[in-house]
Amino acid sequence: MAEVGPEVGSSVLATRRSRGQLPLDVGRGFLIGTAELVPGVSGGTVALVTGVYDQLIDSAHHVVSALRRLVTGPDRFASAGAELRRTDWFLIVPILLGMAAAILSIAGLMSSFVTDHPEAARGLFFGLVAVSVVVPVRMLPLGHRPLLVELALVAVVAAATFWLVGLAGSGAEADPAPLLVFAAAAIAICALVVPGISGSFFLLTIGLYTVTLDAIHDRDLGYVAVFALGAFVGLASFVQVLNYLLTHRRRITLLVMIALMLGSLRALWPWQSVPKTAADGEAHGPGALLAPYDPVAVPLLLALLGAVVVAVLIAVESRRTHDATRG
């Protein structure tokens, strides 16, 4: 029997964004874009915390459906127009603008922060992601499966994610082929919309993280164009599947997201050994997990800061949703 949660599309149509929320949504987009620059942190996690995850997936689904109907019909223009009218552009546009602003303005800064202060950076994002797990837990609809079965699923997926994250690490490709850049972008962008999976971390594992950030920072338009095209194709292919799962298999999908977020904490444990230096002279990927060593206070304080920031965002979003429901 299909497990049906609340329909994503219907909930979005009932809560369309007002123009007064545009500045807030630009800020949300900036946070999502910033998260995507950090290996181990998922933009989807930030979208969940800031309360726009379902709406983004639903609107992306309508855009992709419009493109498909424009090509396949029937009634190409009429049906495509109907899908586009269902898209919440007052959410999509400011989110994309905020993401673009983050990627274009602080890509170099985030790369330096992660490289030069690894314990502090990992501590900050460990606290952020750890508390963010509360969000999909609160979104879980009622289920009919035994609780032990669901807990076993979460444990297995989390353990597999933990193990796979530990395998990551590769040197940078000095001059990657356009086909590799296209394929990597198509896969990495899928990680953008799945909480707990980091697109930046995927790029790190195949040696394209530093190359991609450098290309953005140096305005390498050829590389950026190929990457953007791959990202568009990947997102168009995957968002339909994710929208279906969130609509018709919502509980099991959220449980898997919870497990992915828990397993991804492996990459963000502040104290790790330094991985081997690659041919580009930089260390890539996670190291072995270690007991706390100096510095200790700064990573702990930043982890607490990250946890508090997320807790405040959750509280603010919950209050906003409650007020909107009452109104």
Q: Which residue has the tokens 């709406």?
A: 55
Q: Which residues pair with 277 in a beta bridge?
A: 283
**pTM for the complete prediction?**
0.72
The four Cα atoms 138, 143, 149, 155 give a dihedral, to 10 degrees, of -20
> Measured between alpha carbons, how far is 136 from 132 in angstroms, rounded to an integer?
8
Query: pLDDT value at position 2?
Result: 37
> What pLDDT, on the 0 to 100 scale, is given for residue 279?
52
Q: 10-residue block means of pLDDT along the chain (327 residues)?
A: 39 54 87 80 82 86 86 82 89 91 84 84 88 87 89 94 73 72 85 73 73 82 91 84 87 90 87 70 69 94 92 81 66
Q: Cα(142)–Cα(121) distance, rounded to whole angstroms?
A: 37
What are the extents of the domains in the chain? 8-326
